[in-house]
């Protein structure tokens, strides 16, 4: 997934998690699946999350970007935004993902941008627009996450995320 130090986080969010001993870039990464797919998160805040993914290695048998790969990118970006919105006392759990695929892509890099539609106390919904390298919309997605309280198992996992 590349070097997470390149991710741009607002300083107040970095400070909040550092005070808890949490490795923020590792916690808000694309995880093991995202790593295998080449997802890189470039910018992350509750207001906007930006990430990229290569088409190569993420295609279906006809050589087009797999719709499931677009869904992974969308859910990753929307989840990161939801988690940042919820803060360190909440975790985001996806409860609904909707993707509409507009055009096929055979090569290059796709970029996803997640922006909030709703940010409440118990749920957060993000719209994710995935575009090709020429700026053409490839996929429109919407993710809703439940924001639930962190429990001790969640907290232990978060502290070890960078290990």
Please list the active-site residues: 75
**For 102, phi and psi rounded to 5 degrees?**
-100, -35
Distance CA 78, CA 49 (A): 7
Contact 86, 149 (CB under 8 A): no
**Cβ contacts of residue 90 below 8 Å, gap of 6+?**
83, 147, 148, 149, 150
Partners of 97 in the β-ladder: 143
Nearest of 145, 57, 162, 72 to residue 109 by alpha carbon? 57
Distance CA 131, CA 140 (A): 9
């Amino acid at each position: 997934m590349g070097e997470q130090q390149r991710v741009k986080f607002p300083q107040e969010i970095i400070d909040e998690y550092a005070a808890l001993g949490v490795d923020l870039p590792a916690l808000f990464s694309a995880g093991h699946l995202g790593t295998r797919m080449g997802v890189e998160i470039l910018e992350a805040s509750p207001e906007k999350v930006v990430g990229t993914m290569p088409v190569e290695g993420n295609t279906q048998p006809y050589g087009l970007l797999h719709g499931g790969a677009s869904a992974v990118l969308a859910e990753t970006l929307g989840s990161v935004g939801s988690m940042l919105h919820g803060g360190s006392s909440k975790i985001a759990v996806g409860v609904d993902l909707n993707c509409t695929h507009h055009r096929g892509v055979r090569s290059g890099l796709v970029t996803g941008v997640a922006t909030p539609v709703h940010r409440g106390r118990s749920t957060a919904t993000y719209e994710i627009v995935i575009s090709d390298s020429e700026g053409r919309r490839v996929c429109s997605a919407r993710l809703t996450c439940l924001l639930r309280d962190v429990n001790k198992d969640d907290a232990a996992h978060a502290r070890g995320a960078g290990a």
